[in-house]
Chain A
Amino acid sequence: MSAAQTLKRGGVAIVGAAESDLGEVAPGMTPVDLMAQATCRALADCGLTLADVDGVFASGVQTRMASVALTEYLRLKPRYQDSSFNGGSVFETMVGHAAAAIQLGLCSVAVIAYGSTQRSVSGGLVGIRGYDPLITPFGPRMPIGAYALAASRHMHEFGTTREHLAEVAVAARQWALLNPVAWEKKPLTVQDVLSSRMVSHPFTLRDCCLVTDGGGAVVLVSAERARSLPKPPAYVLGIGDAVGQLEIHSMDDLTTTCAVQSGQRAFEMARLTPKDVDVVELYDAFTINTILFLEDLGFVPKGEGGRFVSEGRIAPGGELPVNTNGGGLSYGHPGMYGLQLLIEAVRQVRGECGVRQVRDCHVAVAHGNGGTLSSQSTVILGSAHAL
């Protein structure tokens, strides 16, 4: 049975959303410090308290048993908890888990939290990959090598160019210039991207996400309860999860991700199509990601992504606003970016985004990606208008 049949469309809502401190945080801060900080800010955002929380969902590369760590830190009393780990898309996955738990009555106020000090600890961050004789001797510098290999196939099969990739980074930067908390603050041109230091062809430094500290939290409750809280709910209209392969050498088709399946599942549950979407938040660890996910989620036909992102179509003022906070490329990327996607989608649906606010925004997609194009999870949020 699919989520579309078992979970009630709009049955739960994200009612609170907040970032932790971002960028480069105070010396000595821990990932759990940031999770706890974001949790309290997200609860304040919706007028709830720590005592209301009975569902705890948390994950992170640096944090062992994250939901347990957060529970201890805040002395929470969860009836339901989850420390899943399927990469940066896990927070979109957890929206599905939380929605199911709330609908089944396993918990009533669910917090999903993340924190990372990846920038501050830089060299001290222990890689999660051990020695693998099928990968390590060749030095692909994962994850970048995997995404670069996929990009090479996209260029080969569809004529996608480095200029197309650069357009993604430029659009992200234009959005970041409108976001007060974005890390990158200097204008960027296609030429800047192309002439930046080559890291893993076809990617230069500017085709790659930032390395920042950061985190965030969102709070979910039933739709019924959401309507009694102070801010407009961002209803969960659709969710879809899909898993492909762990490693790039096992990916059957390097230019088609399982976002095809996660997107179809989410749109089916939401009873919507890509044409109904007002704003799209995509996990842009590298510039090719945005192109792949626009195609795989059905916003453009396969192979057309590179041409589509050109001429400012995904930039401010363009026909399809994408990554309106500046994305992992220019806003910040704390190792796992999925939670930040949800926060921006909620704010857009609520109309809280100031100068970068997309007009008449009622439907937002937050699409998470984990590993090396490994796990994909799509969440569709909507305002009351979209119910």
Chain B
Amino acid sequence: MMFERATEAPMHAYQRQLNAGVLAYQHSPSANRAVFYPRLVCPFSGSDQLEWRASAGRGTVHAVTYLYPRDEPAYNVVLVDVDEGFRMMSRVLTPEGVAGDSVKIGDRVRVRIVHTEGKDSVPFFEPEGGAA
């Protein structure tokens, strides 16, 4: 049966897996491609038969901006093309003292899911060689 009553909201399932340390994404067998952000229906095929998969968490910086808030350190915001075929927003964590502009389009990065006690986990990234 298609389009049955959902037992868990897609974004809830995504966040639950993140909180367990997994960057999860959906795979659509009917379209044979990744679907991101999480949703009930594959936008490429219209099917609701979506499978959860765990990403290896490796990707390439697709676009980057560096924000300069007043009286606070600058930071970057990036779009990452994750190797499994989806794009997401994140931030590349660089060691303190390294300017936000050290991140470049084309840089290889890997996910670093940051857990904060009592809060939902957040999928940041770091340079593939580690936050040197």
* Cβ–Cβ contact B77 & A138, under 8 A: yes
Are B88 and A139 neighbours in the complex by a CB distance under 8 Å? no
Residue of A nearest to B105 (CB): A156
Determine the distance from Cα of A249 to Cα of B77 in the docked complex, in whole angstroms: 11
Let me know if A139 and B67 touch, CB within 8 A. Answer: yes
With most chain A CB atoms within 10 A of its CB, the pick from B75, B77, B100 is B77
Question: Is the pair B89, A135 in contact by a Cβ cutoff of 8 Å?
Answer: yes
The reply to whether the CB of B52 lies closer than 8 angstroms to some CB of chain A is no
Query: In the bound complex, how far is the Cα of B73 from the Cα of A84, in angstroms?
Result: 40
- Chain A residues numbered 332-367 whose CB sits less than 8 Å from any CB in chain B: none
Interface size class of A (residues with CB under 8 A): 20 to 34
Binding-face segment, A70-78, A98-106, A194-202: A194-202
Q: Which residues does chain A contribute within 8 Å of B79, judged by CB atoms?
A: 149, 248-249, 254
A138 x B91 contact (CB < 8 A): yes
Known A133-B120, A139-B75, A249-B79: A200·B15 in contact at CB below 8 Å: no
Q: Is the CB of A152 within 8 A of B64?
A: yes
Q: Would you call A140 and B63 a contact (CB within 8 A)?
A: no
In the bound complex, do residue B88 and residue A200 qualify as a contact, i.e. CB atoms below 8 Å apart? no
Q: How far is the CA of A201 from the CA of B100 in the complex (A)?
A: 10
Contacts of A199 in B (CB 8 A): 67-68
Nearest-neighbour CB distance to chain B for A48, whole angstroms, equals: 45
The chain A residue sitting closest to B65, CB to CB, is A148
Evaluate contact between B66 and A200: CB separation under 8 angstroms. yes
**B67 to A149, Cβ gap below 8 A?**
no
Chain A residues with CB under 8 A of B62: 153, 254
Min CB gap A303→B, angstroms: 16
From B66, B75, B89, B91, contact of A248 by CB (8 A): B89
- Cβ of B87 and Cβ of A249 under 8 Å apart? yes
Check A134 against B91 for contact (C-beta < 8 Å). Answer: no
Q: How far is the CA of A202 from the CA of B67 in the complex (A)?
A: 9
Binary flags per residue of A230-266, CB closer than 8 Å to B gives 1, else 0 = 0000000000000000001110001000000000000
Would you call B128 an interface residue if the criterion is a C-beta within 8 Å of the partner chain's C-beta atoms? Answer: no
B68 touches A139 (CB 8 A): no
8 Å CB contact of A134 from B63, B69, B77, B89: B89
Q: Would you give the shortest CB distance from A139 to chain B, in whole angstroms?
A: 7
- Known contacts A133-B15, A249-B87; A152 and B63 CB within 8 A of each other: yes
A153 near B89 with CB under 8 A, answer no
Is B55 in contact with chain A by the CB < 8 A criterion? no
Q: Within 8 Å of chain A (Cβ to Cβ): is B13?
A: no
> Within 8 Å CB of A150, what residues of B?
63
Select from chain B the residue with minimum beta-carbon distance to A137.
B122
Question: Which of A149, A156, A197, A249 is in CB contact (< 8 Å) with B68?
Answer: A197
Taking the complex as formed, is B56 at the interface, i.e. its CB lies under 8 A from any CB of chain A? no
Cα–Cα distance between A135 and B78 once the two chains are bound (Å): 11
Rounded to whole angstroms, the CA-CA distance of A138 and B63 in the bound complex is 14
Contact, CB under 8 Å: A254 / B11:
no
- Is the Cβ of B68 less than 8 Å from the Cβ of A141? no
Q: How far is the CA of A152 from the CA of B65 in the complex (A)?
A: 7
Among residues 90 to 132 in chain B, which have CB atoms less than 8 Å away from a CB atom of chain A? 90-91, 100-101, 105, 120, 122
Known: A133-B11, A145-B77. Contact between A140 and B67, CB under 8 A? yes
Q: Cβ of B11: which chain A residues have Cβ within 8 Å of it?
A: 133
- Distance, CA A197 to CA B120, complexed state (A): 34
User: Contacts of A137 on B, CB cut-off 8 Å?
Assistant: 122
* 11 further interface pairs, Cβ-Cβ under 8 Å (given A145-B77, A149-B79): A140-B67, A148-B65, A149-B78, A152-B65, A156-B63, A199-B68, A200-B66, A249-B37, A249-B87, A254-B62, A254-B63
29 contacts between A and B (CB under 8 A): A133-B15, A133-B122, A134-B37, A135-B89, A137-B122, A138-B77, A138-B122, A139-B91, A140-B89, A141-B67, A145-B65, A148-B65, A149-B64, A149-B77, A151-B65, A152-B105, A153-B63, A153-B105, A156-B63, A199-B68, A200-B66, A201-B66, A201-B68, A201-B100, A248-B79, A248-B89, A249-B37, A249-B88, A254-B79
Q: Which residues of B contact A (CB under 8 A)?
A: 11, 14-15, 37, 62-69, 75, 77-79, 87-91, 100-101, 105, 120, 122
